[in-house]
């Protein structure tokens, strides 16, 4: 059952990622991206990472995607306004992306020592209790630095988004 679920979620995630890239309307892209995030949340649950599954829904599908949708509706983009790259550039881009995929898969299929840990396997590491202990014991300094990063990002976003005097209105 879980194995079929893995294949289903993977296929759905790859398809919706393709639709994000190739759909014409930016709003559709955002909706497909939300679908992809929910598929990845399913993957996290299958991998026993329950805390990250919830954080993924709250942060990505909740906050970031709402920000994207808000900006898209704010900007009032016309669907057919995008000219797109010239066909030769598109062809080259798809070829180089495909080559990257082929090279990475062929390299990564040669890597050994990838099997799951047999002795001492702990399925509870993804729970809030264990992750919180690791986060506040071993990673306390990065955690505090992340809050400084958020402060800087907040100040930067407000500074950039602020309307200057004498600027044109939307």
Partner 1 sequence: MSDVIANIPVNYYVFFATALFCIGVVGVLTRRNSLIVFMSVEIMLNAVNVLFVAFSSYKSDPAGQVFVFFIMAVAAAEVAVGLAIIVMIYRNLRTVDTGALNHLKW
**Residues 41-60, interacting with partner 1 (CB under 8 A):** 43-44, 46-49, 51-52, 55-56, 59-60
Half-sphere exposure of 72 (CA within 13 A, CB side): 15
Q: Does 31 bind partner 1 (CB under 8 A)?
A: no
Cα gap 46→41, rounded to integer Å: 9
Total residues contacting partner 1 by CB under 8 A comes to 92
CB of 86 to partner 1, least distance (A): 10
Q: Does 40 bind partner 1 (CB under 8 A)?
A: yes
Q: Does 80 bind partner 1 (CB under 8 A)?
A: no
Contact criterion met (CB below 8 Å) for 142 and 134: no
CB of 115 to partner 1, least distance (A): 7
List Cβ neighbours of 90 (8 Å cut-off, separation of 6 or more): 84
Q: Does 20 bind partner 1 (CB under 8 A)?
A: yes
Cα gap 66→57, rounded to integer Å: 12
């Amino acid at each position: 059952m879980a194995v079929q679920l893995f294949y289903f979620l993977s296929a759905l995630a790859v398809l919706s990622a393709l639709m994000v890239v190739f759909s014409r309307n930016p709003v559709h892209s955002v909706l497909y991206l939300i679908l992809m995030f929910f598929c990845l949340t399913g993957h996290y649950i299958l991998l026993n990472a329950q805390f990250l599954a919830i954080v993924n829904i709250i942060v990505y599908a909740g906050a970031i995607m709402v920000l994207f949708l808000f900006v898209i509706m704010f900007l009032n983009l016309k669907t057919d306004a995008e000219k797109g790259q010239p066909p030769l550039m598109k062809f080259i881009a798809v070829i180089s992306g495909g080559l990257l995929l082929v090279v990475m898969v062929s390299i990564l299929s040669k890597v050994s020592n990838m099997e799951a840990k047999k002795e001492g396997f702990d399925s509870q590491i993804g729970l809030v209790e264990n992750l919180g202990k690791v986060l506040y014991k071993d990673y306390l300094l990065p955690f505090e630095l992340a809050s400084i990063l958020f402060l800087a990002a907040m100040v930067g976003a407000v500074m950039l988004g602020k309307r200057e005097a004498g600027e044109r209105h939307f």
